[in-house]
Chains A and B, each alone.
Chain A
C-alpha cells in the first residue's frame, strides 16, 4: 500500500517517550495509534519474591511525578491482604500527603506544560515573558505541594517515609504549623490560578466518554471508594477483573485496559469531577461554576480547568486536615506477616490506579499487578485523536499537529508509568 510518512518532530511536555501515528485514507483518519517505544520495565515481576515491607519504596520508583499514588495504592492493597485497616490520624496524614502530590503534579502540568498550548506559546519559558506573575504563582503553589511531600514523605522525589501500616516518622507540631502557614497563602493562590485558566480560549469539542473513578460515601475520592462509572458501574476493587481487562497490542509495549463489554473509558480529573461533583465542598463547587463549569463536563480540553478546581480543593482539604490533626499514639500500626490477597484503587493525579498483591505465609510477594491510569486512558486518547484529527484535516499540518499535542496533554499522560516523548507521524494512503 503506498503510504506517505511525515515526521512532525518531538512532542514535548508529556512524560514518557512514544509516537503518535495517524493513518489517513480517503480523507478520513482510519486509525490513531499511540506507540510506546520505551521498553517495559517489569515492575510486577521485580516485586515477586520481595518482602511486603519493601513494596512502597520499590513502587515509588515507577514514577517521579506521582510516587505517592503508587505508594498509597500499594499500602492499601497490602493492608487488605494482611487484614489490617489504617484509620484515624494516620489515614488523615495519608490523605494530606496525597493532597501534596495532587497540588504538585496538577500545578506543574497546568502552568508549565499545558497552559502554553492554550495561550499560543511554544513553552513555559516563552509564556513567562508575558505571564510572569502567573508562572511565579505556579512555582509557589508547586513548592507548597513539594513541601507537603518533603515533610510527610521524607523527600520530594520517590518518598521514603510511607510504610505498610502507616509511616516511619510522624511530623512534629512545629513542622505542621509551618506547613499550615504555607497553605494559607496557597489557598488564595489556587483560586487565582483557577480564575486565570477559566479565561483560556477553549476548543469546542465534546465526547460521550464512560467516566470511571472512585466514589466515597462522603469525601472527594483519593485513597478509597467504590469503582463507579457514568454508565452505572459500581464495584469494589476486589471485583476489578470482573469488569476490566488488559490487552496487549502490537504497536505498544504498554498494556491497554478496557471495560470488558464496552471498550474504552476515561479516568482522571474529568472523570472524578463528573462522578463526584456533589462530594466537593460547596465553596469549591461555587468556584467551579464561577469558572464556567457545570456539574457535568464532557469537553476534554476543559480538563485544565478541572485540574485547577482540584488544586483549589486539595489546598482547602490539606488546610482543614491540618487543623483537625491530633498526633496519634505511634507512627504505624504493628503488623505481622500472613498469607492473603489484597486489592486497592486510589486516585492518582492522572486517574484511578489499581494494585493487587498475593502474599505467602511469611509476607513474601507471590504475585503483583499494577494498572496505571495512562494505560487505562490510552484507548480513549487514541479515540480523541482520531476524531479530532478528522475534524481538522482541512487545516494546515502545523495546526493539526499542535491541536493533537494539546489533546494528548489533556490527559497529562505519564507514558513512562505505562510501561519520555512523542513523535507524531502521519501516514497517508
Chain B
C-alpha cells in the first residue's frame, strides 16, 4: 500500500483514459473514458488525460485508479492487457517526448514522492498505428466495448 493513500479518504474511484484522440489508436483511452462515463456508475470519476504528469495531482488518496492507454503495436492489434503496475514489473518503451513524462516515469516519480493511489490498474490495448488525424483502427475500436465492460465489472466489485 502506498503511504500516500489516506484510509479515511472517501474520494471516488478514478478512471483515466490516456491519449490523444487525434493520433489513431492513441485515442483508445479517451474513447473508453467517453463510453464509460455514459454508464454513470456511482462513486467513479472519469477523465480523459493528455499528460500523465497531471495524474499525480488526480490520483493521490484514491482507493483504486484505473488507467486506460494504448500500447505499441506488436503481434495482435486490439488485444487487451490488464496490468497492476504497482505490483508487477513492467518494462516501458523508450520515450520519444520530452515536455511530458511518460506514464511509467510518472508512476516511478509517484513512488519516490509517495504520491500514489492505493491500487493502480492499467488496461492497455495493443495498437495498430498512431497516424495523425487517423481514427481508431477497426480491431482497436472493437476492443473499446470489451474494455468498458471489464472495467465496469471491476469498479462494481471494488
Residues of A within 8 A of B (CB): 10, 12-17, 64-65, 108-109, 112-113, 123-125, 128-129, 132, 135-136, 139, 143, 146, 156-157, 414, 420-421
Residue from B51, B100, B108 in contact with A125 in the complex, judged by beta carbons closer than 8 Å: B108
Question: What are 29 A-B contacts defined by CB distance under 8 Å?
Answer: A10-B94, A10-B95, A12-B98, A13-B98, A15-B99, A17-B96, A64-B50, A64-B51, A64-B99, A65-B99, A108-B53, A112-B101, A113-B99, A123-B105, A124-B101, A124-B105, A125-B105, A125-B108, A125-B112, A128-B109, A132-B113, A135-B109, A139-B56, A157-B51, A414-B99, A420-B96, A420-B97, A421-B96, A421-B98
Asked whether, in the complex, the Cβ of A135 is within 8 Å of the Cβ of B99, the reply is: no
Residue of B nearest to A142 (CB): B53
A143 touching B57, Cβ below 8 Å: yes
B54 in the interface (beta carbon within 8 A): yes
Q: Which residues of B contact A129 (CB under 8 A)?
A: 112
User: Is B112's CB under 8 angstroms from A16's CB?
Assistant: no
A146 and B54 within 8 A (CB): yes
Q: A132-B112, A157-B51 are in contact. Are A420 and B56 (CB under 8 A)?
A: no
Query: A139 contacts which of B57, B95, B105 (Cβ < 8 Å)?
Result: B57
List B contacts of A15 (CB < 8 A): 97-99
Can you list the 3 inter-chain pairs with the closest CB atoms, starting with the nearest? A15-B99, A420-B97, A128-B112
Cβ–Cβ contact A10 & B112, under 8 A? no
Q: Are B113 and A136 neighbours in the complex by a CB distance under 8 Å?
A: yes
Q: What is the CA–CA distance of A14 and B98 in the complex, to the nearest angstrom? A: 5
Chain B residue numbers with a CB within 8 Å of A108 are: 53, 99
Contact A420 B54, CB 8 Å, known A125-B112, A132-B112: no
User: B113, A135: Cβ atoms under 8 Å?
Assistant: yes
- Identify the interface centre among B99, B100, B112, B113: most chain A CB within 10 Å of its CB: B99
Interface centre among B54, B56, B105, B112 (most CB of A within 10 A): B112
B50 near A157: Cβ-Cβ < 8 Å: yes
Q: Which A residues lie within 8 Å of B96 (CB)?
A: 10, 17, 420-421
Give complex CA distance A73, B115 in Å: 37
Which residues of B85-105 are within 8 A (CB) of A? 94-101, 105
Q: What is the bound-complex CA distance between A136 and B74, given in angstroms?
A: 36
Q: Mark B137-154, 1 if CB is under 8 A from A, else 0.
A: 000000000000000000
Alpha-carbon separation in the docked complex, A157 to B52 (Å): 13
Chain A residues within an 8 Å CB radius of B112: 125, 128-129, 132
Contact partners of B94 in chain A: CB under 8 A: 10
Q: Output the least CB separation between B139 and chain A (Å).
A: 26
> How many Å from the CB of B94 to the closest CB on chain A?
7
| Distance between Cα atoms of A112 and B51 in the complex (Å) | 14
Q: A10-B94, A13-B98, A16-B98 are in contact. Are A156 and B109 (CB under 8 A)?
A: no
Contacts of A17 in B (CB 8 A): 96
Question: What's the minimum C-beta distance from A208 to chain B, rounded to whole angstroms?
Answer: 30
CB distance from B26 to the nearest CB of A (A): 13
Assembly CA distance A124 to B108 (angstroms): 10
Q: In the complex, which residue of chain A has the Cβ closest to the Cβ of B108? A: A125
Q: Which residues from B are CB-within-8-Å of A123?
A: 105
Expressed in whole angstroms, the minimum distance between the Cβ of A135 and any Cβ of chain B is 6
A124 to B50, CA, bound (A): 20
From 63 to 117 in chain B, residues with beta carbon under 8 angstroms from any chain A beta carbon are 94-101, 105, 108-109, 112-113
Residue of B nearest to A13 (CB): B98
* Chain A CB within 10 A, most for which of B56, B94, B109: B109
> Which of A113, A124, A143 has the most C-beta atoms of chain B within 10 angstroms of its own C-beta?
A124
A125 to B99, CA, bound (A): 14
Residue on B with the closest CB to A41? B132
* Residues from chain B with Cβ under 8 Å of A421 in the complex: 96-98
Task: Looking at the assembled complex, report how far the CB atom of B145 sits from the nearest CB atom of chain A, in whole angstroms.
Answer: 27
Query: In the bound complex, do residue A124 and residue B109 qualify as a contact, i.e. CB atoms below 8 Å apart?
Result: yes
Are B113 and A128 in contact, with the CB atoms below 8 A?
Answer: yes
Most-contacted residue by chain B among A64, A143, A146 (CB, 10 A) = A64
Known: A124-B105, A128-B109. 10 other contacts (CB 8 A): A10-B94, A15-B98, A65-B99, A108-B99, A112-B53, A112-B101, A125-B112, A135-B109, A146-B54, A157-B50
